[in-house]
Amino acid sequence: MTTTPALNPLDFLDQRRSVPARQLGEPGPDAAQLERLLQAAVRVPDHGKLVPWRLLAIRGEARARLGQSLAEIHARAEPDVAPSVLDKDRDRFNFAPLIVAVIARIQADHPKIPAQEQLLSAGCVAYNLLLGAQALGFGAQWLTGWAAYDDEVARLLGLGANERVVAFVHVGTAKEPAPERARPAIADVWSEWT
């Protein structure tokens, strides 16, 4: 019997790719996989143990209902919007079987933990969802779009006054290999303070 060597963790990170949401389909994570994914996702830096985020699942028929609501909200806000744009709004959540909205819960007046640290903690949850999905053999993409920043959409999703969508993380089975893209040269982003 031969064994394959374990994947180096840095090789795993080097292989991280976003799979476009339109290229994601069934199956999505089953109940056990979802539980494991969420356990891993919440292991993030969290100054003061505030848990400044929560997760909202969008799946099943709720995906199409949310898309229809987005199209209606967009049409009211911009009456001259092109029908093709409204079609995109309607279809936005219809591809991946699971969308996880990562919602930051910011205590803006916290005496010790700056709002930026709380927001970054929520961003780390979104990134861990991407890594966790990959580790489980799924594809994933972190998207926002106008809906993440719209007050009416926030009310529709049940967000409180101190909450905002950081990411809609789409998770499913990749229909084709994830595309690679150019990455920055380290020399272009690295310097040393002296």
Annotation: binding site for FMN = 16-18, 43, 47, 142-144
Whether residue 167 contacts residue 126, with contact meaning beta carbons closer than 8 Å, is answered with yes
Q: Which of 157, 99, 167 is nearest to 133 (CA)?
A: 99
Residues annotated as binding site? 16-18, 43, 47, 142-144
The C-alpha atoms of residue 2 and residue 48 are separated, in whole angstroms, by 47
In angstroms, rounded to a whole number, what is the distance separating the alpha carbons of residues 154 and 167? Answer: 13
- Angle between helix 61-77 and 83-91 (nearest 10): 150
